[in-house]
Protein backbone atom coordinates (compact mmCIF):
# COMPACT_ATOMS: atom_id res chain seq x y z
CA UNK A 1 0.00 0.00 0.00
CA UNK A 2 1.38 3.47 -0.83
CA UNK A 3 2.73 5.30 2.18
CA UNK A 4 2.38 8.88 1.10
CA UNK A 5 -0.05 10.89 -1.00
CA UNK A 6 0.48 13.51 -3.64
CA UNK A 7 0.03 16.99 -2.14
CA UNK A 8 -2.90 17.84 -4.41
CA UNK A 9 -4.84 14.71 -3.44
CA UNK A 10 -4.22 15.23 0.25
CA UNK A 11 -5.13 18.92 0.18
CA UNK A 12 -8.30 18.36 -1.81
CA UNK A 13 -9.38 15.47 0.41
CA UNK A 14 -8.84 17.32 3.66
CA UNK A 15 -10.60 20.37 2.31
CA UNK A 16 -13.66 18.35 1.35
CA UNK A 17 -13.90 15.99 4.31
CA UNK A 18 -12.07 17.82 7.09
CA UNK A 19 -10.47 14.60 8.24
CA UNK A 20 -10.66 11.57 6.04
CA UNK A 21 -7.75 10.68 3.80
CA UNK A 22 -8.72 8.46 0.90
CA UNK A 23 -6.59 5.63 -0.44
CA UNK A 24 -4.63 7.27 -3.22
CA UNK A 25 -4.10 3.98 -5.02
CA UNK A 26 -1.00 3.40 -7.09
CA UNK A 27 0.89 6.75 -7.21
CA UNK A 28 2.68 5.64 -10.36
CA UNK A 29 4.83 2.90 -11.73
CA UNK A 30 7.95 3.86 -9.80
CA UNK A 31 9.23 1.53 -7.10
CA UNK A 32 12.07 1.85 -4.58
CA UNK A 33 14.28 -0.13 -6.97
CA UNK A 34 13.44 2.22 -9.84
CA UNK A 35 14.02 5.21 -7.57
CA UNK A 36 17.42 3.96 -6.43
CA UNK A 37 19.36 5.69 -9.20
CA UNK A 38 17.75 9.02 -8.34
CA UNK A 39 18.48 8.41 -4.66
CA UNK A 40 22.14 7.74 -5.45
CA UNK A 41 22.32 11.01 -7.39
CA UNK A 42 20.65 12.90 -4.55
CA UNK A 43 22.90 11.27 -1.97
CA UNK A 44 26.01 12.32 -3.87
CA UNK A 45 24.70 15.89 -3.88
CA UNK A 46 24.14 16.07 -0.11
CA UNK A 47 26.63 18.04 1.95
CA UNK A 48 28.82 15.91 4.19
CA UNK A 49 29.32 17.36 7.66
CA UNK A 50 29.92 16.23 11.21
CA UNK A 51 26.83 15.91 13.37
CA UNK A 52 26.19 19.24 15.05
CA UNK A 53 25.57 19.80 18.74
CA UNK A 54 22.28 18.84 20.38
CA UNK A 55 22.45 22.06 22.42
CA UNK A 56 19.03 23.71 22.54
CA UNK A 57 17.15 20.73 21.11
CA UNK A 58 13.69 19.73 22.23
CA UNK A 59 10.83 17.99 20.44
CA UNK A 60 8.68 21.03 21.20
CA UNK A 61 10.74 22.94 18.63
CA UNK A 62 9.22 20.65 15.98
CA UNK A 63 5.50 21.32 16.64
CA UNK A 64 3.40 18.24 15.80
CA UNK A 65 0.83 16.85 15.28
CA UNK A 66 -0.90 19.61 13.29
CA UNK A 67 -4.66 19.86 13.04
CA UNK A 68 -6.19 18.73 9.76
CA UNK A 69 -9.73 19.84 10.55
CA UNK A 70 -12.71 18.58 12.58
CA UNK A 71 -10.58 17.45 15.52
CA UNK A 72 -8.32 15.47 13.16
CA UNK A 73 -4.57 15.70 13.17
CA UNK A 74 -1.65 14.47 11.08
CA UNK A 75 -1.29 11.32 13.17
CA UNK A 76 -4.90 10.38 12.40
CA UNK A 77 -4.24 11.01 8.72
CA UNK A 78 -1.17 8.75 8.63
CA UNK A 79 -2.95 5.94 10.48
CA UNK A 80 -5.82 6.07 8.02
CA UNK A 81 -3.58 6.46 4.97
CA UNK A 82 -1.25 3.57 5.83
CA UNK A 83 -3.83 1.14 7.18
CA UNK A 84 -6.13 -1.39 5.59
CA UNK A 85 -9.78 -1.94 6.54
CA UNK A 86 -9.51 1.08 8.82
CA UNK A 87 -12.48 1.88 11.03
CA UNK A 88 -13.04 5.34 12.46
CA UNK A 89 -14.91 6.80 15.37
CA UNK A 90 -15.05 10.42 14.32
CA UNK A 91 -11.40 11.06 13.52
CA UNK A 92 -10.09 8.42 15.88
CA UNK A 93 -8.79 5.28 14.21
CA UNK A 94 -10.18 2.41 16.28
CA UNK A 95 -9.41 -0.63 14.12
CA UNK A 96 -7.53 -1.79 11.06
CA UNK A 97 -4.29 -3.51 10.08
CA UNK A 98 -0.91 -2.00 9.31
CA UNK A 99 2.27 -3.37 7.75
CA UNK A 100 5.45 -2.20 9.49
CA UNK A 101 8.23 -1.55 6.96
CA UNK A 102 10.93 -1.84 9.59
CA UNK A 103 10.27 -5.39 10.79
CA UNK A 104 7.64 -6.77 8.38
CA UNK A 105 5.15 -7.19 11.20
CA UNK A 106 1.41 -7.01 10.64
CA UNK A 107 -0.18 -4.90 13.35
CA UNK A 108 -3.83 -5.54 14.18
CA UNK A 109 -4.48 -2.59 16.48
CA UNK A 110 -3.70 1.13 16.31
CA UNK A 111 -2.36 0.86 19.86
CA UNK A 112 0.55 -1.20 18.46
CA UNK A 113 1.40 1.45 15.86
CA UNK A 114 3.80 4.37 16.17
CA UNK A 115 4.02 7.16 13.61
CA UNK A 116 7.74 7.40 12.98
CA UNK A 117 9.71 10.22 11.42
CA UNK A 118 11.93 8.52 8.84
CA UNK A 119 14.60 11.13 9.55
CA UNK A 120 14.25 11.56 13.32
CA UNK A 121 13.72 15.05 14.68
CA UNK A 122 16.93 14.93 16.70
CA UNK A 123 18.90 13.82 13.64
CA UNK A 124 17.40 16.67 11.64
CA UNK A 125 18.45 19.08 14.41
CA UNK A 126 22.03 17.82 14.21
CA UNK A 127 22.06 18.05 10.41
CA UNK A 128 20.71 21.52 9.80
CA UNK A 129 17.29 22.03 11.36
CA UNK A 130 18.74 23.84 14.40
CA UNK A 131 19.06 26.86 12.09
CA UNK A 132 15.40 26.80 11.05
CA UNK A 133 12.54 28.59 12.77
CA UNK A 134 9.78 26.65 14.51
CA UNK A 135 7.40 27.05 11.56
CA UNK A 136 9.80 25.32 9.19
CA UNK A 137 10.58 22.64 11.76
CA UNK A 138 6.83 22.12 12.09
CA UNK A 139 6.55 21.69 8.33
CA UNK A 140 9.25 19.04 8.53
CA UNK A 141 7.67 17.22 11.46
CA UNK A 142 4.27 17.09 9.72
CA UNK A 143 5.49 16.39 6.17
CA UNK A 144 2.87 14.22 4.45
CA UNK A 145 4.24 14.85 0.97
CA UNK A 146 7.55 13.01 1.34
CA UNK A 147 8.04 9.52 2.88
CA UNK A 148 8.82 11.16 6.22
CA UNK A 149 5.91 9.82 8.26
CA UNK A 150 5.44 6.05 8.50
CA UNK A 151 3.10 3.81 10.47
CA UNK A 152 5.44 1.21 12.00
CA UNK A 153 5.53 -1.11 14.98
CA UNK A 154 6.07 0.62 18.29
CA UNK A 155 8.86 -1.81 19.14
CA UNK A 156 10.86 -1.06 15.99
CA UNK A 157 10.35 2.68 16.30
CA UNK A 158 11.63 2.71 19.86
CA UNK A 159 14.57 0.53 18.91
CA UNK A 160 15.50 3.02 16.20
CA UNK A 161 15.24 6.12 18.39
CA UNK A 162 17.14 9.00 16.79
CA UNK A 163 19.77 6.86 15.09
CA UNK A 164 20.84 7.21 11.48
CA UNK A 165 21.51 4.24 9.12
CA UNK A 166 25.14 3.98 10.23
CA UNK A 167 24.00 2.72 13.65
CA UNK A 168 20.48 1.39 12.99
CA UNK A 169 18.93 -0.37 10.02
CA UNK A 170 15.50 -1.99 9.75
CA UNK A 171 15.62 -5.59 11.00
CA UNK A 172 13.79 -6.52 7.78
CA UNK A 173 16.79 -6.53 5.44
CA UNK A 174 14.57 -6.89 2.37
CA UNK A 175 13.32 -3.36 3.08
CA UNK A 176 16.74 -1.70 3.27
CA UNK A 177 16.41 -0.40 -0.29
CA UNK A 178 13.09 1.29 0.41
CA UNK A 179 14.29 2.71 3.72
CA UNK A 180 17.45 4.15 2.16
CA UNK A 181 15.52 5.69 -0.73
CA UNK A 182 13.07 7.23 1.74
CA UNK A 183 15.85 8.59 3.97
CA UNK A 184 17.71 10.19 1.06
CA UNK A 185 14.49 11.60 -0.41
CA UNK A 186 13.70 13.40 2.85
CA UNK A 187 17.23 14.66 3.46
CA UNK A 188 17.55 15.87 -0.12
CA UNK A 189 14.26 17.79 -0.12
CA UNK A 190 14.98 19.44 3.22
CA UNK A 191 18.66 20.06 2.34
CA UNK A 192 19.96 18.35 5.46
CA UNK A 193 23.55 17.16 5.78
CA UNK A 194 24.85 13.61 6.19
CA UNK A 195 27.88 12.31 8.01
CA UNK A 196 30.56 10.25 6.28
CA UNK A 197 29.45 7.06 8.04
CA UNK A 198 25.80 7.81 7.29
CA UNK A 199 26.55 8.22 3.58
CA UNK A 200 28.57 5.00 3.54
CA UNK A 201 25.71 3.10 5.17
CA UNK A 202 23.15 4.54 2.76
CA UNK A 203 25.37 3.70 -0.21
CA UNK A 204 25.60 0.10 0.98
CA UNK A 205 21.85 -0.11 1.54
CA UNK A 206 21.12 1.23 -1.95
CA UNK A 207 23.21 -1.63 -3.32
CA UNK A 208 20.42 -3.96 -2.15
CA UNK A 209 17.99 -2.36 -4.61
pLDDT (tens digit per residue) in 15-67: 333 333 333 333 334 566 768 999 999 999 999 999 999 999 999 999 878 76
State residue 10's pLDDT score. Answer: 38
DSSP 209: -
> Over 50: is that where the pLDDT of 12 sits?
no
Average pLDDT, the chain: 86
State residue 27's pLDDT score. Answer: 35
* Rounded Cα gap, residues 107 and 120, in angstroms: 22
> Over 90: is that where the pLDDT of 169 sits?
yes
Pairing of strands 106-107, 92-99: antiparallel
Q: 111, 124, 191: which is closest to 164 by C-alpha?
A: 124
Contact 201, 166 (CB under 8 A): yes
- At 86-121, the pLDDT tens digits run 999 888 899 999 999 999 999 999 999 999 999 999
Per residue in 106-132, is it b (16+ CB within 10 Å) or e — as a string? ebeebeebbbbbbbbbbbbbbbbbbeb
Give CA torsion, residues 5, 13, 153, 194, to 10 deg.
40
* Rounded Cα gap, residues 41 and 151, in angstroms: 27
- Can you tell me the mean pLDDT for 189-202? 98
* Rounded Cα gap, residues 61 and 142, in angstroms: 12
Amino acid sequence: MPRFIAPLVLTATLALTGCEVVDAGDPGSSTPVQNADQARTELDALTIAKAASMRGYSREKFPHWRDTGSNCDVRDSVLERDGEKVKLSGCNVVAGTWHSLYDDKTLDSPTKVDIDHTVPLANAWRSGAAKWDDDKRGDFANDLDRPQLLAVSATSNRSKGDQDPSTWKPPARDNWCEYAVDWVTVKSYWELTVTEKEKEALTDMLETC
